[in-house]
Amino acid sequence: MRVTIERARCIAAGQCVLKSPEVFDQSEDDGIVILLNANPSAELADSVRAAARLCPAEAIKVYED
């Protein structure tokens, strides 16, 4: 699994951080998403997919390798 983010699309809703805090964080300055792990392990896959589905700005892309 590979994850990318489009920071310019992010609206700082924080759903990704709530669903998968091991992979996503938010900037203290503006709340915009920060990608902590672009290649999360298999045990995080479900939470990463959920975070992408819940993102209201569709700023998270998940690629199944």
Distance CA 1, CA 13 (A): 23
* Domain containing residue 53: 2-63
**What's the token pair of residue 30?**
């503006």
Q: What is the pLDDT of residues 28-45, one digit of tens each?
A: 999 999 999 999 999 999
Q: Which residues 6+ apart lie within 8 Å of 21 measured at CB?
A: none
Q: What is the pLDDT of residues 17-32, one digit of tens each?
A: 999 999 999 999 999 9
Q: How many domains does the chain have?
A: 1
Which CATH number goes with the domain that contains 42?
3.30.70.20
pLDDT value, residue 65: 82
Amino acid at the residue 35? L
